[in-house]
Amino acid sequence: MKTEKISIIVPCYNEEEALPLFYEEITKVAKQMEKVEFEFMFINDGSKDKTLDILRELSKKDKRVRYVSFSRNFGKEAAMYAGFDNVTGDYVAVMDADLQDPPALLPEMFQAIKEEGYDSVATRRVTRAGEPPIRSFFARMFYKIINKISKADIVDGARDYRLMTRQMVDAILSMGEYNRFSKGIFGWVGFNTKWLAYENVERVAGETKWNFWKLFLYSLEGIVGFSTVPLTIASVFGLLFCFIAFIMIIVIIFKTLMFGDPVSGWPSTTCIIFFVSGVQLFCLGIIGQYLSKTYLETKKRPIYITKETEKTN
Ligand code: UDP
Ligand code: MG
């Protein structure tokens, strides 16, 4: 008699090549863990290839396979949220379809929750092998900065791959924000987390959906979503410049009184105008970032839209 259920959430965007391999691998692990019931929740995030067909097939032949298919591509964050929203398990894991999150770690993760009393077991990769060095450099810098300016504990190299209890899943669902940054959300909800480290694994098939620009925007999402320090920086700049201007006014008044006022200083004036307006635009940009996120939040748009599930098919 199987008493407990693990749900596996798998966001899929154009994963026709990886999916069959993933399914094979995960069912092997499920077989090993014979005391536990499984539910595989695939989220088809508006794939343009045969991903949905594969999911339909799988769900017909294996009752453990369920899926939610979006009306368009909403992004991995929305896919994970949809997964949390729809699974029924007592324990829930998020896993990539490309086998970069080794399903073989699952028994160990489950054991840590059952026997060592953790609420969540997360994974981080200790190497960034196979990644362009410049990307690693910026990634490292991002983690350094965000951990300085945010209260949420955001771990360098952390994957979204983790197993957690129903209690933690409900906490995550209660954070219904539109601009989602899961690495921050997982840290923000708290609970006891055990970290497992493993060597980076390369994708089995297909290719990564991330380019440098997308990662950059995602990192902004993280900073704006989990820290208001940039806004403080804008105020500090303002104060600093007022102070400098004040000193300059006094110096200029004294200089004029003592040495007269020959016409000069045009280049320095231009430089100052450029510099100060640069700083102003930068600060305006920071405020704009927060304003745009607030704007999107206040619209209360749904995080994802379902077009089809295994039940409606
Ligand atoms: N993914 C998704 N929607 C997207 C982009 C990616 O659901 O818009 C899924 C993708 O199918 C994969 C996971 O998110 O299962 C991680 O994507 P990827 O492997 O491209 O990222 P990387 O591992 O390179 O960080
Ligand atoms: Mg991947």
Quick: pLDDT tens for 279-303. Answer: 888 888 888 889 988 998 899 899 9
| Model pLDDT, residue 102 | 87
| pLDDT at site 312 | 82
Pocket lining: 304 vs ligand 1, CB cutoff 6 Å = no
Average pLDDT value for residue range 171-189:
89
Ligand 2 centre to CA of 254 (Å) is: 64
User: Among 62-71, 105-114, 208-217, where is mean pLDDT lowest?
Assistant: 208-217
Q: Which of 76, 95, 99 to mutate to test the pocket of ligand 1 (most atoms within 8 A of CB)?
A: 76
- The DSSP secondary structure of the chain, one letter per residue, reads ---EEEEEEEEESS-TTHHHHHHHHHHHHHHHSTTEEEEEEEEE-S-SSTHHHHHHHHHHH-TTEEEEEESS---HHHHHHHHHHH---SEEEE--TTSSS-GGGHHHHHHHHHHH--SEEEEEES--TTS-HHHHHHHHHHHHHHHHH-SS---TTEEEEEEEEHHHHHHHHT---SS--HHHHHHHT---EEEEEE-----SSS-----HHHHHHHHHHHHHHH--HHHHHHHHHHHHHHHHHHHHHHHHHHHHHHH---S--HHHHHHHHHHHHHHHHHHHHHHHHHHHHHHHHHHT--S--EEEETTT-
- Environment of ion ligand 2 (residues, CB < 5 A): 96, 98, 100
Mutate to test the pocket of ligand 1, among 160, 209, 215 (most ligand atoms within 8 A of CB): 209
Query: Looking at residue 93, what is its pLDDT?
Result: 94
210 CB near ligand 1 (under 6 Å): yes
Max mean pLDDT among 56-65, 135-144, 147-156 falls in: 56-65
Residue 65: band (very low, low, confident or very high) from pLDDT cuts 50, 70, 90: very high
| Nearest-atom index, ligand 1, CA of 96 | 15
User: Residue 35 has what pLDDT?
Assistant: 87
At residue 3 the predicted structure's pLDDT band, cuts being 50, 70 and 90, is confident
Q: Which residue has the higher pLDDT, 17 or 204?
A: 17
pLDDT, position 188: 87
DSSP 3-state of 148: helix
Tell me: pLDDT of 13 over 90: yes
1 pLDDT tier (thresholds 50, 70, 90): low
Q: Per-residue pLDDT for 84 more than 70?
A: yes
Residue 95 scores a pLDDT above 90: yes
* Higher local confidence (pLDDT), 199 or 168: 168
Quote the ligand 1 centre to 80 CA distance (angstroms). Answer: 11
Do residues 92 and 9 touch, judged by C-beta distance below 8 A? Answer: yes
Dihedral sign (CA 307, 99, 61, 58): positive
208 lines ligand 1 (CB under 6 A): yes
CA of 167 to the centre of ligand 2 (A): 27
Q: What percent of the chain has pLDDT over 90?
A: 35
Helix (H) or strand (E) holding 111: helix 106-116
Nearest bound ligand to CA 15? 1
Q: Which residue lies with its CA nearest to atom 19 of ligand 1?
A: 208
Ligand 1 neighbour 15 (Cβ under 6 A): yes
Least confident of 74-88, 176-190, 193-207, 222-236: 193-207
Q: Check residues 203 and 197 and name the one with the higher pLDDT.
A: 197
Ligand 1 atom nearest to 73, measured from its CA: 8
Task: Check pocket membership of 119 for ligand 1, CB cut-off 6 A.
Answer: no
Rounded CA separation 49/66 (Å)? 19
Residue 207 has pLDDT above 80, yes or no: no
Write the residue with the smallest CA distance to atom 13 of ligand 1: 96
Q: Average pLDDT, stretch 12-31?
A: 91
Give the pair of three-digit tokens for residue 34: 């014979």
What is the atom index within ligand 1 of the atom nearest the CA of 209? Answer: 20
pLDDT in tens, 110-135: 998 989 989 999 998 887 766 778 88
